[in-house]
Amino acid sequence: MRGLANVSFFADDVAAARDWYAEVFGVEAYFARPVEGPPAYVEFRVGDYQHEFGIVDSRFAPHGGAGKPGGAIAYWHVDDVRAAFQRLLSLGAAVHDEPVERGPGFVTASVVDPFGNVLGVMFNQHYLDVLGG
């Protein structure tokens, strides 16, 4: 294993999900298929290592469509979990798991995005230690 390559979420309306996540991430999607017409897949590059985050049309979901979480939560490192959690709620997400301190230097929270996916945010001191800061 060489590292995480891509996290994909599902949405019935990929264009709406693209726009919502552009607001969350503060960047536009850099890739879309098809190029013309409504997208079936879009992709962002996000964070310190430009990780790939994709949004796939729900008709391709292995778990039966949007609104039916597949059992996994992708956590994104943030500097302030409580602030990130509140921001996601202000953008229309719903509470999944309130911020919880899991141990020294380790806090997590998660929301359900407007498209039925569970999105996690975490502060993990180990992540910063690996980055050297």
The pLDDT value given to residue 1 = 53
Are residue 85 and residue 47 in the same domain, yes or no?
no
CA distance 119 to 116: 9
Q: Is residue 108 part of a domain?
A: yes
Residues of the chain with pLDDT under 70: 1-4, 62-72, 133
Are residue 90 and residue 127 in the same domain, yes or no?
yes
Q: Is residue 64 part of a domain?
A: no
The pLDDT value given to residue 80 = 95
The pLDDT value given to residue 106 = 87
Final residue of a domain: which of 59, 81, 102? 59
Are residue 55 and residue 79 in the same domain, yes or no?
no
Q: What domain range includes position 127?
A: 72-133
The pLDDT value given to residue 60 = 80
- State whether residue 4 is helix, strand or coil: coil
How many folded domains does the chain comprise? Answer: 2
CA distance 96 to 85: 10
CA quadruple 112, 65, 71, 39: dihedral positive or negative? negative
Cα–Cα nearest to 42, from 115, 112, 94: 115
The pLDDT value given to residue 67 = 54
> Considering the entire predicted model, what is its pTM?
0.80
Are residue 128 and residue 89 in the same domain, yes or no?
yes
Are residue 55 and residue 13 in the same domain, yes or no?
yes
| Domain at 54, CATH number | 3.10.180.10
Are residue 46 and residue 83 in the same domain, yes or no?
no
